[in-house]
Structure 1
Amino acid sequence: MFSDDEKVCDVNKSSSVSVLMSNLIRGDLLPSSLIWITSRPAAAIQIPSKYINRVTAIQGFNDHQKEEYLKKKISDEHQADRIISHIRRSRSLHIMCHIPVFCWISATVLQNLLKQDDSAEIPQTLTEMYIHFLLTQINMRNQKYDERAPEKLQSNRDVIVKLAKLAFNQLMKGNVLFYEEDLIESGIDVTDASVYSGICTEIFKQESVIHQRKVYCFIHLSFQEFLAAFFVFYSHVVKNEESLKPLLNRRYQLYSQTKCLYMLLESTVNKSLDSVNGHLDLFLRFLLGISLESNQRLFKDLLTHTVNTSETIQRIRHYIKDKIKADEHLSANRCISLFLCLLEMEDQTLEIQEFVKSENKLSLAHCLTIAYMLQISEKELDEFDLKKYDTSDESIRRQILAVVNCIKAYSSGCMKEEGCCFLDPDPGFTPE
């Protein structure tokens, strides 16, 4: 909290984590120390630049490392080659695999799917992949314990809903580590063996820390965000509006009377945009993805029933597009996050084309967003004329990244066609 003037110079003085961190970064406390903080970019930007000497960006796997990892993870060489081939064919899936945990989840899901059906439809979005991963863990647990069907269904739902409630409540508080009292608050009996059976060992873990006090967490923050999103949608389906208060704020009373999904999704979009550190961005993406009827059907036994959302999805798509086009103050991160939400709702390149064609004055944030989205799009843009936009030289330079996925692109009077020597297909490429 850099606006706080409280100074701590004595290493023996007790203080809050927030105050201690800001004093360490400012150099008031332990001034000769070197600090390396791992953080998501949206949180890191809250540190004033004058206190930062160097920024390290960890990019994850490059294309060669993705394949190297998958070959090590999957012992069957033939199956590994098939899975790598499937991932290569999906541009969005291939790019997402630069994140190691997503690469691991993809390998787990695709191994299981292709083992059951060689022609199985491959998940294309982040939400689909995480749903399949959760279902894979549930199926593995059911096979291991060979439970009777009625008990199995109820047991699976109870455990997942309780974990999802924990994920949501703690996400709203900004916590990624939990204690026994947090589990109890979500209805989880820490002595219940089912919590630590096969259904949870791959998604939830515990460790002993100081004084042997147990601390709990999900395998990755993204999985906590996924389960939190599932809990919100589940609460809407079963009409448990009390649980949704943290998302609805002043609109809670109106939602509790109408049970309107659109109101819930719109409130979540706005709450995500209002977040100073972007900690609800991925949660929003998962919630919108789960709301699709196709993804509801994947959940089958975990949802008591599915709901018709086609009209709501159309409305929220338009709402998000209007936000992107109308709000000049949106940062590049926020624009990209909203575009990814559209992709999660299966809104593809056609919408990017409409957006590009409708804008003449493009901010740097819009330029970065369009460039990013064209890179991950499954389709090529027929023509991209950079000359017609009233924007800065820096914006034009950043747009060069986008032309690798365009059939033709025009800039400063010259035409760059696919295969031009200075264009690198690597999404991380930045031209000089």
Structure 2
Amino acid sequence: MDTDLIPVGRGASAHGTESGGEEEDDMMWDRDLDLPDTCDVERAASPAPSYLSMESGTMDFSGSNPDPDDLTTRIELERPDSCVSSIYSLESDEDVEKEMKPELRVRKKAKVIPYNAAKPELAIDPNQKRHPALTVKFTFKFLEQVLKKLSESHLKFFKKYLWERYPEFFRDPLDGLDILDLVDKMLECCDIELALKITTHVVQYMGQKKLVEYITGHLQRNEVRYALRQQLKQQYSTIYEGCPKQGGSADFESVYTEHHMTVGMYAPPNNEHELRGAVQELKVEPRYNYKPLKNTELYVSSLEEQKYLRLLVMKGVAGSGKSAAAQRYILDWVAETAHEHIYFVFPLSGARMLPTLDTDTTFHALLTALFPCVAELTDLEFEDCQVLFIMDEVDELVYELDFLYTHCWCDMNTTVSTRLLLINLIKGNLLHSSYLWMVIRALASCELPNDRISQVVEVRGFAEEAREVYFRKRHSNDPALAERMVKYLRANNTLFIMCHLPLFCWVVSTVLQKVFQKFPPGQEPPSTITEMYTRLVQVYFNKRERRRSQCDAVAKKWEDDRVLLMKMGKVAYTMLEKEIFQMVTSHWKEDEIDPQQVIVHCGLVTEYYREKYILYQEKLRCFIHPTVQEYMAALYVFLSYKNSGKNVMDTSKMAMIKLRDTSLTDLYKYAIEKAVHPKASAKHHYDLFLRFLVGLGAESNQGILGSFINHVGCKASATEDAARLIRKKIKDNPDLKKCLEELFPLEGQGKQ
């Protein structure tokens, strides 16, 4: 046999020899030669570039530059006469397109060198542990992405070179495999690290410098992403319902229930009412198609193809579950159960950044302070690495940002003020390819530049089925208690309607858990509502106090809680007297109410838009629910009596000049007369108002009011007188029976 010129390729396989030959791409293959496991390569003299003449990396099988006398094997290129360079002399990504099909010839000598020295990319440190971010799932998808970036001719050469250089892994030719099968074959025959190293080596050999940078950059970002997920998992696995307190957190998965969300900015607050049916002023416009939206559908590819989405604004009344919806998104991304098209998720707290607005820093340093793992990255804008920022608690922050008279800034590595960085992040000048999701209340969203908002999503709390699911999940360790709560709420329709607010669900769950301890199964507690609403208002003002403490750095003057409560109560009572549920501008001016105080800081009032005429949007404001307005009106009447001795329902001249003392019995008498008046009684206009008013007379409810009331307690005679008056009027209005339960909240229904 002539050993001077033997074709390389299949004959070099260490899996055995095969006879026969075939012609492929002008190369003659012969498996009659049984080659040793290694070979040294020396470039044959040639006027044209050869394998070793590439700028991007030489194919040095020995891993060194051996002396010519020590060479055991020589590869020569025998090419047809041509003035065109070979595909193996790549200097750019386009040169491979000019494929010239050289023939390889091998001359064998007797000397053999170690195999591992010929392929340094196969060297693996046995003491080095695999990074936990390097999973089979990631590697498969990543290799698929890399190979898809190759042109058809590049991919063809990749398969051929892979098979020729690594016969110990690939016994059969790879030409017939598509990308998915090729990646599957690589991971089947090689370890994860080897598959990545081999891919990097081959791509580098082909002169794909940008693709090599893409591979190394993605592998680094994958490790950063793993560390980020671990940090977010630790931070967001628990949730504080209501007001945060030490030891008051709950496991997020044990309480989270899917929220009802819609696309658009014209959604009014819930207008369901137990006695009124539905408040027509707050009805949903039938011409608006409130498209429901799931949490997993935010920033999905199908929406992106139809419309460019960058700034998403999520609105909703206070307590509707906006922050919980964002937390659900974060945890789904951490668990890799959804949102796989998002590479990095960075939650930014507006409350935390508010005190640092005038501090000079870089955006990279700002992120590193919150997420130390990001320190390794110098740039967040990278191919196929979509970044999402979620900004929560920004209601007070946006009032400190001037979006009109602030200059453009695009550099994340230069020191400027935090204020400038945030303004340009929101406007899209800084990291313009990133996504931004802002969780904000209605009035505060008006401060954002309208031309930068891509989509508005309204969180509307719990749907009817989700309300029951919440109680069953929260009390999954005691199913009997959960079912008892659901049954209690179903019998008390006002509470069940109000449970569309997740915050109110938490209040009801907390209260009933204690109430049921006093009433064993078989003995049902009274169907009271006053305590629930009183505790809800208390929670809103506690949250307001927490917001005030966070805003001390910006030195804004916040109105006293008692003054603000009485102003809102007065507006609520005036609206109830006029039988309206939408606030008008005169109400704000007469009582000098700052909308920012009651909508943004407190949250008991909300704002929404209605398209009154073509191209004209009417701004409307109302309480977060009609029953909240009725409660606030009753609270205003009761506190006016307790703190000032006035009966605001008595509009006679003698009452105005204070020539007549007012007793609690008189107060109740006025309210009962209003409720049983034929005109009001037919509409149930004052029924809930009366329930709340007599319920506030109970000492247990007065104790919850805290600093809002001067002294707690009422004469027993006043309570008995009120009960006697109600019993007399029940025949005129049977719904007044429930007022007796409010008067005696700690007694069973039988005793009442």
Larger Rg: 2
Distance 1:103 1:161 in 2: 25
| Residue in structure 2 matched with residue 69 of structure 1 by the alignment | 466
Q: State the partner residue of 2:39.
A: none
* Selected match of 2:562 from 157, 165, 173: 157
> Is 1:291 matched up with 2:691?
no
What's the CA shift for 1:87?
6.5
1:234-383 superposed matches below 5 A:
234-239=639-644, 241=646, 243-246=648-651, 252=655, 257-274=660-677, 275=680, 276-324=682-730, 327=731, 330=732, 334-335=733-734, 337-346=735-744, 348-350=748-750
Q: CA RMSD in A?
A: 4.1
CA distance in structure 2 between the aligned counterparts of 1:98 and 1:221, rounded to whole angstroms: 11
* Local SS of the residue matching 2:648: helix
Equivalents in 2 of 1:134, 1:271: separation in Å? 25
Q: Secondary structure at the match of 1:243?
A: coil
The 3-state SS of whatever aligns with 2:606 is strand
* CA-to-aligned-CA distance 1:127-170 (integer Å, 9 cap, x gap): 01111111122222323332699x99972222221111100011
Contact 2:638 2:693 in 1 (8 A): yes
Size of the aligned set, in residue pairs, is 278
Match of 2:582 in 1: 177
Quick check: 2:647–2:662 contact (8 Å CA) kept in 1? no
The corresponding residue for 2:506 is 111
Cα gap change, 1:315 to 1:287, in 2 (>3 Å)? same
Is 2:132 the counterpart of 1:132?
A: no
Show the counterpart of 1:204: 605
State the secondary structure of the residue aligned to 1:257: coil
Distance 1:214 1:42, change over 3 A: closer
CA apart distance, 1:253: 6.8
SS in 2 for 1:258: coil
Contact 1:66 1:98 in 2 (8 A): no
| Structure 1: distance between partners of 2:686 and 2:529 | 15
The structure with the largest helix share of the pair is: 1
Tell me by how many angstroms 1:95 deviates: 1.4
The whole-number CA distance in structure 2 between the counterparts of 1:112 and 1:281 is: 23
1:102 counterpart letter in structure 2:
M
Counterpart residue number, 1:223:
628
Structure 2 length normalisation: TM-score? 0.33
Unaligned runs of 5+ residues in structure 1 are 1-37, 45-64, 353-432
Of 131-140 and 221-230, deviating more is: 131-140
**In structure 2, what is the Cα distance between the partners aligned to 1:39 and 1:120?**
27
Answer whether contact 1:162 1:186 (CA < 8 A) is retained: yes
Q: 1:163 to 1:84 in 2, by over 3 A?
A: farther
Distance 1:288 1:208, change over 3 A: same
Partner of 2:334: none
Change (3 A) 1:134 1:304: same
Change (3 A) 1:39 1:265: closer
**Alignment-mate amino acid for residue 278 of structure 1:** H
Q: Distance in 1 between matches of 2:512 and 2:566?
A: 32
% identity of equivalent residues? 22
Q: CA–CA distance in 2 between the matches of 1:82 and 1:309?
A: 40
TM-score normalised to structure 1 length: 0.54
User: What amino acid does structure 2 have at the position aligned with 1:277?
Assistant: K
Q: Deviations over 1:163-185 (max 9, x none)?
A: 11100011011111111211222
Indicate how the Cα distance of structure 1 residues 312 and 148 shifts in structure 2: closer, same or farther if over 3 A, else same: farther
CA–CA distance in 1 between the matches of 2:514 and 2:469? 23
Distance 1:253 1:118 in 2: 42
Structure 2 Cα separation of the partners of residues 258 and 282 of structure 1: 26
What is the identity, as a one-letter code, of the residue corresponding to 2:531? Answer: E
Asked whether the equivalents of residues 235 and 241 of structure 1 are also in contact (C-alpha less than 8 Å), the reply is yes
| Partner SS for 1:304 | coil
Q: Aligned-pair distance for 1:344?
A: 1.2
Relative to 1, partners in 2 of residues 1:195 and 1:91: Cα closer, same or farther, differing over 3 Å?
same
Structure 1 residue 320, shift from structure 2 partner: 1.4
In structure 2, the partner of 1:102 is: 498
**Aligned mates of 1:263, 1:144 — CA distance in 2:** 39
Q: Distance in 2 between matches of 1:72 and 1:92?
A: 15
Secondary structure, aligned partner of 1:175: coil
Deviations, residues 257-282 of structure 1 (Å, cap 9, x unaligned) = 21211011012101110024220011
Q: Separation in 1 of the partners of 2:724 and 2:515?
A: 28
Q: Match of 1:355?
A: none
- For the 8 Å contact 2:697–2:714, the answer to whether it is kept is no
The Cα offsets for residues 280-330 of structure 1, whole Å up to 9 and x where unpaired, read as 011001000011111111111222332423221111112211333xx5xx2
Q: Secondary structure at the match of 1:177?
A: coil
Asked if structure 2 preserves the Cα contact closer than 8 Å seen for 1:207 and 1:215, the reply is yes
| Mapped pair 1:141 → 2:544 | yes
Conserved? CA contact 2:533–2:631, under 8 Å: yes
CA contact (8 A) 2:698 2:713 kept: no
Partner-residue secondary structure (3-state), 1:241: coil
- The letter for the 2-side match of 1:111 is W
Deviation at 1:113, TM superposition (A): 8.1
Aligned AA (2:633): A
Assess, with a 3 A threshold, how the Cα gap between structure 1 residues 266 and 254 changes in structure 2: closer, same or farther: farther
Change (3 A) 1:162 1:83: farther
2:672 maps to amino acid: V
Residues 654 and 660 in structure 2, CA contact (< 8 A), matched pair in contact too = no
Task: Assess if the C-alpha contact under 8 Å between 1:113 and 1:120 holds in 2.
Answer: no
Question: Structure 2 vs 1, CA of residues 120 and 164 (structure 1 numbering), >3 Å: closer, same or farther?
Answer: same
